[in-house]
Amino acid sequence: MARRIAYIGEPVLTLEQVAFQCRLDPEDTVAELITDLIIPGVTGQAEERTGAGIQLAEYEEEWPAHYSSGHALDIGQANSIVSISRLQADGSEQELSVAHSLRNRGRESFLFFPDGRPAGELLIRYQAGTDLDVFPSVRTWLLMQAATAHENRETLVVGVTLAELPASMLDTLLAPITVPPRF
């Protein structure tokens, strides 16, 4: 299972985009609410729901010895390999300089070793993030979620009946980058 080390890119939405989506006047805009809570929150929702990196970040994952060349990375939308290391018995890492090829197939990214996969357990560090110009429906989903989060900032709503838009509509906005289930 991959883990995020750190976000390294700019947030995927801007204050201006969210304020426009929420139909906020400049005097009604609380910048810290949007930039510090809403944008990171909806970004995390999208990443969890799709299995893809949305905001550019660095990830690492361990590959057991039985993972062969051409295995899929856990996080979708991977765009570059930072490093490949062999994990030693004492827990230390030995960085390797091996030929590799990262192939993004839309929803998933696959790591190939043209000269053969190095033996042993590997630690793969890579960057992943979604280009919202290539996948504009993801931006639409993020903005819709941001507007909903702005309007409903609490976990409980009293006296109001809420109905979610049909899943068939919302899910199709994220479908182009959703990593297929693996078993």
The CA distance from 74 to 56, in Å, is 15
Same-domain check for residues 119 and 143: no
Structural domain includes residue 76? yes
Same-domain check for residues 64 and 121: yes
Same-domain check for residues 108 and 141: no
pLDDT exceeds cutoff 80 at 104: yes
The CA distance from 117 to 151, in Å, is 50
pLDDT at 151: 86
pLDDT exceeds cutoff 90 at 156: no
- Which candidate, 152, 165, 102, places its Cα nearest to that of 128? 102
pLDDT exceeds cutoff 90 at 140: yes
Same-domain check for residues 10 and 69: no
Q: How confident is the model at residue 157 (pLDDT cuts 50, 70, 90)?
A: low
Structural domain includes residue 182? no
- Residues 36-68 as b/e (b if ≥16 CB within 10 A, e otherwise) read eebbeebbebbbebbbbbbbbbbbbbebeeebe
Mean pLDDT, all residues of the chain: 92
Full domain range(s) for residue 101: 57-128
pLDDT at 70: 97
Name every residue whose Cβ is closer than 8 Å to that of residue 36 and which is 6 or more positions away in sequence: none
Where a domain ends, among 128, 149, 168? 128
Where a domain ends, among 91, 110, 128? 128
Structural domain includes residue 183? no
Between CA 90 and CA 98, with CA 93 as vertex, the angle to 5 degrees is 135
Structural domain includes residue 69? yes
Q: Which residues pair with 6 in a beta bridge?
A: 58
Reported pTM: 0.88
